[in-house]
């Protein structure tokens, strides 16, 4: 490793002394990207991390003397923080680096750190030291952190002995490897179709212009979201949409379906070693909804609320198919296409007309302005090296003081992660280090000629940016593990989902939504967007319940048959319980790229539960005004600013003055007037 990289590595965040971390909390990025490292350099960087992690781990296990918050809990938190930032950094490398070798190096190092985390969770010396800490005179945040830490050790198998302990550790390590295999298969699961130009009838002209025919006269389209979504929504060719959907729904099969069979089997065995009846029971113990029964009750409540709206949604779409497709039955192959026609005919809303007002650059500027307006901060350009020319970097200031930094990796390229997510590269620790985030997205690039965005993509951008804000604005915490997006897993989506409402607010959109002629989006168009907003919510929620059901059912016992075909068949059966179109089509294998079955395991219900919370949080803004400064700052300070320093139910009650309820969410699903 060259001297510059070594020096920067030692200066980065929790690898260094607090003094060095305060001087240069971001150099990890500048050095590693400025040197354009190859896989060998990334591997060397990983070894530096691993060496420091192991040193601190050993020192903690071999501690002697009085067990206090400062002597034990603080070194434990620092160790956990170091493992987190190393894992997050290398996971980001795995998602976004420019060669397969670098991406593999990223995932491999992330796996190694996960394996150390498994060992830490089984370390009796560390657990005994933490158990001996008396935090009764400490603040409530510290007491809460210590309680949650000890409970996490129990869920990590700390009480196991002998062969059970060895088997548990082996299962954890095998699951880490399987997760990495799943991610890499997914990253490489890109399918390219060749189609005739005439098959693209109905697609936006700027999209067609960006997809010229090759020398063979054929147009190449891929399963990337920037191709898949427009084709499914706008292509008039029924056969093309079905071909595209079948390809999209079968990527990474059979490899990843077989991997999932192993994952489900091993998770079940691990839960039973801990005395739980299944993995879902184990997973939910530290959630807001704490049992599979509570989760099932939530699914049932949402199904009852969404079903009437779904019936209406499907009736509207079937009317279109009756009139324009000779009564073809509604299916997932034609639902998006039919939905666009419903919007045009019933709500006088043309999504292609709407998208004329949204480019990436303008949308980014609008999101930045909204953030600055609501939360009283300033966003500035950050002059720092990046890993690809498309990546942008920025910093957030409050009253002239830096509070956090972030990257936007916003556009698609081969081998890159194909959806959208937020990674907290660093969490904030008061007086020691500031938070750093990266958003990985796949949004159109360019101006009005090639870079027009769907309104739904604008919504996605703001959603992911909400996670970034949670990490940065919640980064002023005493404990690393309580910082930023560190609440219960079934709360973390709620703040981002709540923020989505602003992309339907005229006063927000008028500040950045402009067409090529410079004209702002018309108020009456935004009014039509809001009138049409309820359409599709019913079928959407039922589809989401299908995903939630697969997530839950696969973790309520080991599969009888873990083979790829059997997992695929079970997935279709579980999804069909709620699916508004009767289930995933035969011959498709969506589970192979349903990454949440790996990352969220039994907990995909989180998204639906978070929408309930988000609607309730937003009700206060609706009452006070979407730009009300007192409400916005209360939300920033009481919800985002608190990070994970207290249970999510308390954060909600602090802001609303009462416990959460589903009234606002149910109201959002109520059917609009039936008049035409």
Question: For 640-667, how does the pLDDT look when each residue is reduced to its tens digit (9 = 90+)?
Answer: 999 999 999 999 999 999 999 999 999 9
Q: Which pLDDT score is estimated for 30?
A: 45
Domain 3-186 matching CATH 3.60.20.30: the answer reads: no
Digit-coded pLDDT (tens) for 195-241:
999 999 999 998 999 999 999 999 999 999 889 999 999 999 999 99
Residue with the larger pLDDT of the pair 96 and 147: 147
Q: What percent of the chain has pLDDT over 70?
A: 94
CB distance 451 to 482 below 8 Å: no
pLDDT band (50, 70, 90) for residue 671: low
- The answer to whether residue 21 scores a pLDDT higher than 80 is no
pLDDT recorded at residue 672: 56
Spatial CB neighbours of 263, under 8 Å, sequence gap ≥ 6: 175, 178, 179, 182, 597, 598
Label residue 315 exposed, middle or buried (CB < 10 Å: 0-12, 13-18, 19+): exposed
CA distance linking residue 354 with residue 458, whole number of Å: 11
Q: What are the beta bridge partners of residue 421? A: 440
Model confidence over 341-386: pLDDT tens digits?
999 999 999 988 999 999 999 999 999 999 999 999 999 999 988 8
3 state SS of 63: coil
**pLDDT the model gives residue 237:** 97
pLDDT band at 674 (very low <50, low <70, confident <90, very high): very low
**Element of type H or E holding 168:** helix 162-187
Can you tell me the mean pLDDT for 585-599? 94
In this prediction, residue 34 carries a pLDDT of: 56
DSSP track, 250-299: TTTTTHHHHHHHHHHHHHHHHHHHTT-SSHHHHHGGGSSS-SHHHHHHHH
Task: Determine contact, residues 593/292, Cβ cutoff 8 Å.
Answer: no
CB < 8 Å & 24+ apart, contacts of 289-292: 289/490, 289/605, 289/609, 292/552, 292/556, 292/602
Best CA proximity match to 6, nearest among 49, 67, 38: 49
pLDDT tens-digit readout, 389-432: 999 999 999 999 999 999 999 998 888 877 788 999 999 999 88
Per-residue confidence band for 27, with pLDDT thresholds at 50, 70 and 90: very low
Burial of residue 661 (number of CB atoms within 10 Å: 0-12, 13-18, 19+): middle
pLDDT of residue 650: 96
- How many CB atoms neighbour CB 161 within 10 A? 9
The answer to whether residue 18 scores a pLDDT higher than 80 is no
Output the pLDDT for position 84.
92
Q: What pLDDT score does 99 carry?
A: 87
529 Cβ neighbours under 8 A, 6+ residues apart: 349, 354, 455, 504
Over residues 536-540, mean pLDDT:
94
The stretch 252-261 carries a mean pLDDT of 97
Using 50, 70 and 90 to split pLDDT, how confident is the model at 299? very high
Can you give the residue ranges of every domain in the chain?
3-186, 191-248, 265-325+537-602
Give the residue, 518 or 31, on which the prediction is more confident. 518
Q: Which two tokens stand for residue 578?
A: 């709620």
pLDDT at 416: 85
User: Quick one: pLDDT band at residue 290, thresholds 50, 70, 90?
Assistant: very high
């Amino acid at each position: 490793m060259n001297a510059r990289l070594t020096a920067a590595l030692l200066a980065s965040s929790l690898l260094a002394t607090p003094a060095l971390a305060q001087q240069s909390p971001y150099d990890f990025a500048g050095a590693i990207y400025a040197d354009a490292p190859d896989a060998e350099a990334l591997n060397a960087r990983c070894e530096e991390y691993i060496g420091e992690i192991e040193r601190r781990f050993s020192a903690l296990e071999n501690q002697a003397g009085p067990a206090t918050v400062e002597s034990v809990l603080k070194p434990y938190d620092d160790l956990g923080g170091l493992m987190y930032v190393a894992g997050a950094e290398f996971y980001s490398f795995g998602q976004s680096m420019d060669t397969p070798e670098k991406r593999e190096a990223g995932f491999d190092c992330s796996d190694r750190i996960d394996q150390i985390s498994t060992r830490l969770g089984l370390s009796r010396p560390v657990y005994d030291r933490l158990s001996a800490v008396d935090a009764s005179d400490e603040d409530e945040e510290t007491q809460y952190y210590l309680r949650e830490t000890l409970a996490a050790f129990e869920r990590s198998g700390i009480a196991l002995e002998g062969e059970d302990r060895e088997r548990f550790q082996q299962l954890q390590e095998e699951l880490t490897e399987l997760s990495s295999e799943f991610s890499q298969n997914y990253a490489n699961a890109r399918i390219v179709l060749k189609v005739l130009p005439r098959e693209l009838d109905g697609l936006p002209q700027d999209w067609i212009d960006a997809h010229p025919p090759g020398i063979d006269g054929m147009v190449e389209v891929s399963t990337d979201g920037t191709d898949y979504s427009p084709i499914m929504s706008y292509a008039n060719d029924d056969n093309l949409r079905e071909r595209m959907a079948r390809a999209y729904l079968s990527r990474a099969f059979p490899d990843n379906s077989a991997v999932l069979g192993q994952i489900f089997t091993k998770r079940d065995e691990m839960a039973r070693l801990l005395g739980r009846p299944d993995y879902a029971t184990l997973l939910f113990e530290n959630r807001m909804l704490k049992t599979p029964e509570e989760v099932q009750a939530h699914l049932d409540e949402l199904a009852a609320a969404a079903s009437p709206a779904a019936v209406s949604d499907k009736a509207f779409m079937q009317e279109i198919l009756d009139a324009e497709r000779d009564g073809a039955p509604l299916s997932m192959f034609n639902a998006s296409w039919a939905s666009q026609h419903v919007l045009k005919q019933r709500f006088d809303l043309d999504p292609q007309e709407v998208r004329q007002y949204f480019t990436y650059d303008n949308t980014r500027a609008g999101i930045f302005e909204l953030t600055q307006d609501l939360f009283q901060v300033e966003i500035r350009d950050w002059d720092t090296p990046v890993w690809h020319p498309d990546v942008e970097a920025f910093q957030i200031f409050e009253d002239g003081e830096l509070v956090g930094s972030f990257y936007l990796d916003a556009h698609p390229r081969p081998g890159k992660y194909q959806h959208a997510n937020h990674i907290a590269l660093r969490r904030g620790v008061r007086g020691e280090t500031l938070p750093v985030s990266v958003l990985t997205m796949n949004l159109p690039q360019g101006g009005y000629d090639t870079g027009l965005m769907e309104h739904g993509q604008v919504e996605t951008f703001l959603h992911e940016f909400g996670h970034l804000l949670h990490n940065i604005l919640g980064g002023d915490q005493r404990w690393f593990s309580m910082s930023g997006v560190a609440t219960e897993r079934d709360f973390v989506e709620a703040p981002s989902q709540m923020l989505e409402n602003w992309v339907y607010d005229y006063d927000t959109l008028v500040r950045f939504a402009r067409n090529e002629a410079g004209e702002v989006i018309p108020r009456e168009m935004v009014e039509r967007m809001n009138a049409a907003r309820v359409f599709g919510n019913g079928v959407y929620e039922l589809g989401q319940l299908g995903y939630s059901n697969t997530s839950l059912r696969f973790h309520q016992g080991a599969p009888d048959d873990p083979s790829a075909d059997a997992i695929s068949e079970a997935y279709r059966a579980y999804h069909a319980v709620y699916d508004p179109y009767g289930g995933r089509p035969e011959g498709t294998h969506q589970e192979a790229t349903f990454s949440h079955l790996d990352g969220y395991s039994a907990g995909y219900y989180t998204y639906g539960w978070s929408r309930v919370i988000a609607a309730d949080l937003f009700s206060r803004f609706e009452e006070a005004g979407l730009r009300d400064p007192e409400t916005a700052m209360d939300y920033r300070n009481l919800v985002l600013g608190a990070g994970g320093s207290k249970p999510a139910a308390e954060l909600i009650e602090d802001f609303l003055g009462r416990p959460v309820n589903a009234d606002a969410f149910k109201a959002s699903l109520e059917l609009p007037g039936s008049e035409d």
